[in-house]
A and B are shown apart, each in its own frame.
Chain A
Amino acid sequence: MERTARQIADSFKIRASATIEICAGEIGLTDKQKETLDIYNKRISDFANGVPKAKDLTDKQKLDMFTLVYKRDNPELPEGAKTHCKKWLKDYLYKRREDLKNKYVAKGNESEEDGFTLMALQLNLGMVYKNTERRKNDFVEGECDLHHNRVTYDNKCSWSLDTFPMFEFDIPNDRYWWQLQSYDILWPSDELCLCYTLIDASIETFEKFVKWEPLHDARYKIANNMIFSKAQFDKAKDLFFNTSTKDSFIEIPESDRIKSFTFKPDKKAQALIEKRAHMCKDYIYELLIKMGYPQA
């Protein structure tokens, strides 16, 4: 039986990893626009009250004011969120979801468990197990990496030394801050921890990247950026660049191969996530009605 527009729209939930796509951007007036609207209102009031030298708005300003008032009273989702909703609807209606596949995702999947081991050792967590439960509520869904002693952890395995935020002191990517705020809705926590880990590429992954590189010195250079422990470097050297004359490899200790950013759950941000999710449901409902789906 065909589902109604309301039923379909209500099944929308924000995926934790895509939270930023829904929550980015302003709804209603920007600060600058609010300021402009206040100025227009004051001018109208001054003019009406006969304040000396007060002038009425020009036609252009009146039109501008009308647009601002309309925008204030009819808040719309930002374009990014609308795009996300349209994509979600296509996936939902036609049962298609594009799997994200690239070298970064592949390495993330391959190194995930080793990342947890590094976290367990360096953050003194004791034994930890990857969370395999997917949780959802009315408006958000996701699967956090680890939830341990009331802290929710998200592990990001960096692709290489170049992309590892060793010297960053603020979260390098807001996307992950938002992702963890969504997880906190599902796994209430005292703290949230975004953890970057730098894990050796496996021999199989390394082989894929040096397969078309015939020069052993060049392979050495690639290994330097993908492998960080001496044992794994020596193994790769034996297999793929044993004639290289280079000798610049410096082992990076495990303590330097983890960078964590801890922060508190932000209830305001989480309220925004909920509000935006409901706006998305309404937007999807509108789209379905326009497509001719029954209302209820």
Chain B
Amino acid sequence: MEIALKPEMPTIQELYSNPGLALKEDQLSHYLNQQPPASWVKVHPYINGYKYLPIEKIEYLLKKLFKKFRIEILREGTAFNGVYVVIRLWYRDLLTGEMDFHDGIGAIQLQTAKGTSPADLANINNGALSMAFPLAETIAIKDAADKLGDIFGANLNRKDVLAFQMDTKLAEMVRTKEEDRMVRLIDNADTLDAMSGLKDHVTENIKHFYEEKWNELQGK
């Protein structure tokens, strides 16, 4: 009977093609998943307990964090007794410098005369349409923005949310410039004496380089 050996699996961190970039992305996520200042969070006047970030705070954060962003309206239309707008929020990715995007959708009912049913389209208020579309657009922007992270209000109304944790293994895996220097010095060392001088500076990340070179020199 053949015994199937469990193959040596790489860690997830070892699978990243560019661990340095992955680490930076992780660090950016850390910032984007901070909670917004408590004083920014408002409670909706009509929806009980519904928390939100006002649009000016969202726009402030977009400007502050990404410096360049723009809104593209993908489509708009009517649904039931209201209107909807679908937008694409373009922002400049901090790490690549490329424009990236998230889509968002927003809808709002048309305002009808006081005391009438919201479904009563015969009683739509004057200007209801011109108010409704910009409002729907604003909601769509917020919807797109909160996909960027908690700081944009992503989890304000969710319960049992897992807080973002940085990948500590990845941080350990990415070699620092100092470790690169050590690798070069180990590579250049041609005697065991020279290697001994470097021993105190060996970190976990580069231990195997040191051991390989030590064994190589010992074998000479």
Contacts and interface: CB of A to CB of B under 8 A. Distances in A.
Contacts of B180: 113, 117
A120 B181 contact: yes
A113 B185 CA distance: 14
Contacts of A129: 178
Interface string B147-183: 0000000000000000000000000000001101110
A214 interface: no
Interface string A150-161: 000000000000
B207 interface: no
A239 interface: no
Interface residues of B, number: 11
Contacts of B188: 121
Nearest to A211: B97
A117 B187 CA distance: 13
Interface in A85-100: none
A127 B177 contact: no
B198 A114 contact: no
A274 B96 CA distance: 48
B177 A117 contact: yes
Contacts, number: 27
Task: Please indicate which of the listed interface residues A117, A121, A128 has the most CB atoms of chain B within 10 Å of its own CB.
Answer: A117
Interface residues of A, number: 10
A127 B182 contact: yes
Contacts of B185: 120-121, 126-127
A113 B197 contact: no
Nearest to A127: B201
A116 interface: yes
Contacts of B197: 126-127
Nearest to B197: A126
Contacts of A114: 177
A126 B184 CA distance: 10
Task: Please indicate which of the listed interface residues B178, B181, B184, B198 has the most CB atoms of chain A within 10 Å of its own CB.
Answer: B181
B198 A127 contact: yes
Contacts of B181: 113, 116-117, 120, 127-128
Interface string B102-136: 00000000000000000000000000000000000
A200 to B, nearest CB: 13
A117 B178 CA distance: 8
Contacts of A121: 184-185, 188
Interface string B179-215: 0111011001000000001100100000000000000
Contacts of A117: 177, 180-181, 184
A92 to B, nearest CB: 28
A148 to B, nearest CB: 13
A41 B36 CA distance: 78
Interface in A228-267: none
A127 to B, nearest CB: 4
A128 B201 CA distance: 9
A210 to B, nearest CB: 14
A120 B183 CA distance: 12
A117 B182 CA distance: 8
A129 B181 CA distance: 10
19 contacts: A113-B177, A113-B178, A113-B180, A114-B177, A116-B181, A117-B180, A117-B181, A117-B184, A120-B181, A120-B185, A126-B185, A126-B197, A127-B181, A127-B182, A127-B197, A127-B198, A127-B201, A128-B181, A129-B178
Given A117-B184, A126-B185, 8 more contacts: A113-B181, A117-B180, A120-B181, A120-B184, A127-B185, A127-B197, A127-B201, A128-B181
The 7 A-B pairs at the shortest CB distance, nearest first, are namely A113-B177, A117-B181, A127-B201, A126-B197, A127-B198, A120-B181, A117-B184
Interface of A: 113-114, 116-117, 120-121, 126-129
Interface of B: 177-178, 180-182, 184-185, 188, 197-198, 201
